[in-house]
Amino acid sequence: MISGGLLKIHPSELKLPFEVKRQSSCCMQLTNKTDNYVAFKVKTTSPKKYSVRPNMGIVQPRSAITITVTMQAQKEAPPDYQSKDKFLIQSVIANDGATTKDITAEMFNKAPDKVVEEFKLRVVYIPANPPSPVPEESEEGISPRPSMLENKTQSSTLFDAVSRSLEEAPRDESEEELLRQERRKNRSGFSVTFVTIVALLGIIIGFLIKKT
């Protein structure tokens, strides 16, 4: 922000997003600090390159006005995005009730009995699409980001470790007892079946011998 006896100007420099072959715009605000009507005029070192709306006018007492600066599309970017362009804002006290039609070039001529304020603003270019940061590479030249295959391998290793821990975990005594009872049932069931088959065979053989 720049402040004088008549106007307060914000911002103190014009920041324009720069993109090759595209227009860009920014705004600045002029605030009248006095109880008088103040006339202003905007000049630039590159009039064919910029469009200023409005480029002159009246700021009423204790009020403000917004000015839009538009840069025409440029074929190429300047070195390091540095601009040498500047703007000059002139202001002077006008008659009460003055309008833009009442402004003349002579109003901004300096004279001993007249105060003409001048402010210079420089232009700063901002890259419209700044490059994204490149991640640092490892010694083998590969970005240190885990691949899907590495994630899958880590998951398999974790699963195997959990499975081994479950297999190696000691069984509860109640589980051992249930297993022993199950084995006894299986053995006793087999023994009864075997005895029954042998008894039936003995009856059949005895019946056949008697018949003969």
Q: What is the pLDDT of residues 17-72, one digit of tens each?
A: 999 999 999 999 999 999 999 999 999 999 999 999 999 999 999 999 999 999 99
Strands 64-71 and 50-53: antiparallel
Strands 117-127 and 14-18: parallel
> Rounded to two decimals, what is the model's pTM?
0.60
- Look at residue 22 and give its three-state secondary structure: coil
C-alpha span between 130 and 19 (Å, rounded): 10
pLDDT of residue 191 exceeding 70, the answer is no
Give per-residue pLDDT as tens, 77-125: 898 889 999 999 999 999 999 999 999 999 999 988 899 999 999 999 9
